[in-house]
Chain A
Amino acid sequence: MTYEVLGITVLWLFLYGYLIVASIDFGAGFFSYYSKRTNKNHLIDSIIQRYLSPVWEVTNVFLVFFFIGIVGFFPDTAFYYGSALLIPGSVAIILLAIRGSYYAFNTYGAEESSFYSFLYGATGLLIPASLTTVLTISEGGYISIADNGDVSLLYGELFTSGYSWGVVILAVVSVLFISAVFLTYYADRAKDKNALALLRKYALTWAAPSILMGIIVFVLLGERNPEHFSGMMDLWWMFAVSFAAFLGTVYFIWKQKRLGLAVILMMVQYFAAFFAYGASHLPYLLYPHLTIYDGFTNESMAIALVTAFIAGLLLLIPSLYLLMRLFLFDADYVEGRR
């Protein structure tokens, strides 16, 4: 494996990590707000708070890791994406800032505020929408490069394209599905029957839209970028694995048994689809301007980054394990007894 492929694989792995943990968080914010509006908040609020409170900061790090890592491994991405994404990037930052800080204000502050929880719920759906701009423009055709090298984003093209809207909707419904599946499992662990019933309903509600949008976006991409699409067709079996895992998730949620396995299958579903999407996008980071080979950092930096990465993992994996053992797999904590 070349350093380029290793680098992008590591980064993709972190983006996948962010996709899962952030979706749980974003969806939880929305469900928490929605259930407040429908006067069902007493059912799931404590479940959500108990899971999110110790981990919200960690979620954010996955994202920081990705965008700092990509500048380290592929410095040219800073130039292309940085120049093009000033507005969507800034909007995402502002939403993340509002969300993160108002979560803390609401949770650790003096009192619960319905305005704070509205901010938390609304931003949870807007952030995935703004972040997906990056994936959309990576397909090509959304940015222009002037003769003097200035890069700019074609907003008209972005806002009128069916593909970009398809990706936005896919992101939002996936967030709700991922989150509901995980929280169903967590409620089950907490032996909270009422929360379990409500969250299970949410999970089943969002299952069909999420898989349907996945298929629609798949087709739209075929029109947008035929080269990428044929690459995806070569990896058809990964999408088949993804679909089978989806069926498994829905089955176990429906039957209300083996919910831990349902979560794992949901993660497999997104892992397979996300990696098949990413692998078939290679070698392009930004079609057709930038590949992983022309945008790669020098060799000594690559070695240093990989070394730092391994050392970092040796530190992080035991710490994350400790975090999960204390807050995710500790029956007493999950059930709210301490």
Chain B
Amino acid sequence: MFFDQDPVLLSRILTYLTLGFHAIFATIGVGIPMMIAIAEWMGMKRNDPHYTLLARRWARGFVITVAIGVVTGTAIGLQLSLLWPNFMQAAGHTIGLPMFMETFAFFFEAIFLGIYLYTFDRFKSKMKHFLLVIPVVLGATASAFFITTVNAFMNMPQGFEMVNGVVTSVNPLEAMFNPATPTKVSHVIITCYLTAAFVLGAIAATKILSGNKSVYHKKALHMTMITGAVFAVATAVIGDFSGKYLHEYQPEKLAAAEWHFETESEAPLILGGIINDENEVSYALEIPYALSILAGFSPDTEVTGLNEFDPDLIPPLWVHYFFDSMVFIGMYLASVSMLFVFMNWKKNWNAFNKPLLMMVVAGGPLSILAIEAGWIFAEVGRQPWILNGIMQTSEAATSSDHVGLMLLLFAALYTVLGVTCVTVLRKMFKRNPVQKEMHKRGIENYEV
């Protein structure tokens, strides 16, 4: 065949490819309904048709991304069994419940999304239509919740006993609500909202930068940046709790992320840098005590180092780069959105200046990159385990010889889907610019 046959490695690459591609659409799939709901609410409360139009146009573009989210989500759902049959056999016994409930949440969302999209002009009461978007938000967020508990379980498996390789005495709720669940779930959900705010904000900023002075785009930018600032602060707080979780339950992941080798208190946090084969770090910025504080609120906290672990069972050290990228981008998004909100609040300051707008535009793709980096850190940081401490990834993969061929097929599929998605979205909004739609619907358009 085409590759050196190693079903484990190829299965890992294919799973990453599917999840990495799905993550983009899943993230905005969870985040955008929230933004649509806020816009729709503002439009109703302020009786401002600009916000209602915002909700309508966002929803229209959103369907295209939902379609890809749905099909890639179906793909990963099936691929789990096809590529990791042994894992799913074990996992089915313990986390069948949240996976099952995820499909319910998805079902609920799918039904109401269909209704919401086709009833924009159908009801006289705006409230009725607004109420229809609530189940979409709830369904999207609930599916993120349930599926993330599955991932939390993989990091912190509990709620069952292993007797001679057989899963027994299962407690599904204990498996679902494991110690990793609170931080993981809240971090995933809030970053979905944050990413959606920045992706939509970047679109508005691009329009303004290209010379469009319509009040529509200014309102869009203002709204996304305020919500973005709120979500960014929440992300930082939850990120801090995640660090404390890792310190307590998965110290090898935190140590790998921070290149922390010796167990010590007053541990420094390492920013950036490069590591060589002898585990020597160069070009890094060290912040004294910060890691201890991140791990346990005080500089006296003793942080476990990598040297305590079996070298064959620690994650690869390159996860540090992804951890840092995620944190840096998170900080960047927080500063940009807060700066915008602050400048807009000050009289006589112009928040719509060119450099700031350009920074907002950069925030869109960067926020997606942060999602990817965060997931790579979270997943690779758990290696070599697929079920942390219980089942290694190499024991879980399929024995099939055809994974390489499937990898090529799926790579081609995602390329085609990605390219068409962008083309269709661009065409859609180019052909029906907002000025035209405002004119058509008799909404006053003025420039500010």
Interfacial residues, chain A to chain B (CB-CB below 8 A): 53-58, 60-61, 63-65, 67-69, 71-76, 78-83, 85-87, 89-90, 92-94, 96-98, 100-105, 108-111, 150-152, 297-298, 300-301, 304-305, 308-309, 312, 315-316, 319-320, 322-323, 326-327, 338
Q: Is the CB of B122 within 8 A of A338?
A: yes
Q: Is the CB of A65 within 8 A of B86?
A: no
B249 contacts the other chain (CB 8 A): no
Contact residues in B for A58 (Cβ distance below 8 Å): 107, 110-111, 114
B424 contacts the other chain (CB 8 A): yes
Choose one: A68, A101, A103; the contact of B103 (CB below 8 Å).
A68
Q: Is the CB of A87 within 8 A of B406?
A: yes
Q: Is the CB of B417 within 8 A of A326?
A: no
Contact residues in A for B344 (Cβ distance below 8 Å): none
Per the bound structure, the CA–CA distance linking A68 and B99 in Å amounts to 7
Q: Is the CB of B410 within 8 A of A90?
A: yes
Known: A58-B114, A301-B172. 16 other contacts (CB 8 A): A55-B114, A58-B111, A78-B85, A87-B406, A90-B79, A105-B424, A109-B64, A109-B428, A110-B431, A150-B399, A152-B400, A298-B167, A301-B94, A315-B108, A326-B119, A327-B115
Contact residues in A for B405 (Cβ distance below 8 Å): 87
Shortest beta-carbon contacts, A-B, top 4: A75-B92, A72-B96, A104-B67, A82-B85
Count of chain B residues with a beta carbon within 8 Å of a chain A beta carbon: 78
Q: Is the CB of A323 within 8 A of B114?
A: yes
Q: Is the CB of B63 within 8 A of A104?
A: yes
Q: Is the CB of B85 within 8 A of A79?
A: yes
Contact residues in B for A308 (Cβ distance below 8 Å): 97, 100-101, 104
Chain A binding site: helix, strand, loop or mixed by DSSP?
Answer: helix
Give the segment of B70-78, B266-274, B361-369 that binds chain A: B70-78
Among residues of B, the one whose C-beta sits closest to the C-beta of A298 is: B170
Contact residues in A for B204 (Cβ distance below 8 Å): none
B298 contacts the other chain (CB 8 A): no
Known: A103-B67, A110-B424. A98 touches B413 (CB 8 A): yes
Q: Is the CB of B102 within 8 A of A68?
A: yes
B88 contacts the other chain (CB 8 A): yes
Among residues of B, the one whose C-beta sits closest to the C-beta of A76 is: B89
Q: Is the CB of B428 within 8 A of A64?
A: no
Q: Is the CB of B100 within 8 A of A68?
A: yes
Q: Is the CB of A64 within 8 A of B427?
A: no
Q: Is the CB of B74 within 8 A of A93?
A: yes
Per the bound structure, the CA–CA distance linking A252 and B156 in Å amounts to 59
Known: A96-B71, A111-B427, A327-B118. A301 touches B93 (CB 8 A): yes
Choose one: B72, B117, B173; the contact of A97 (CB below 8 Å).
B72
Per the bound structure, the CA–CA distance linking A65 and B75 in Å amounts to 13
Q: Is the CB of B431 within 8 A of A57?
A: no
Q: Is the CB of A54 within 8 A of B406?
A: no
Contact residues in A for B77 (Cβ distance below 8 Å): 64, 67-68
Choose one: B82, B93, B107, B424; the contact of A297 (CB below 8 Å).
B93
Per the bound structure, the CA–CA distance linking A301 and B171 in Å amounts to 7
Contact residues in B for A82 (Cβ distance below 8 Å): 81-85, 88, 398
B157 contacts the other chain (CB 8 A): no
B112 contacts the other chain (CB 8 A): yes
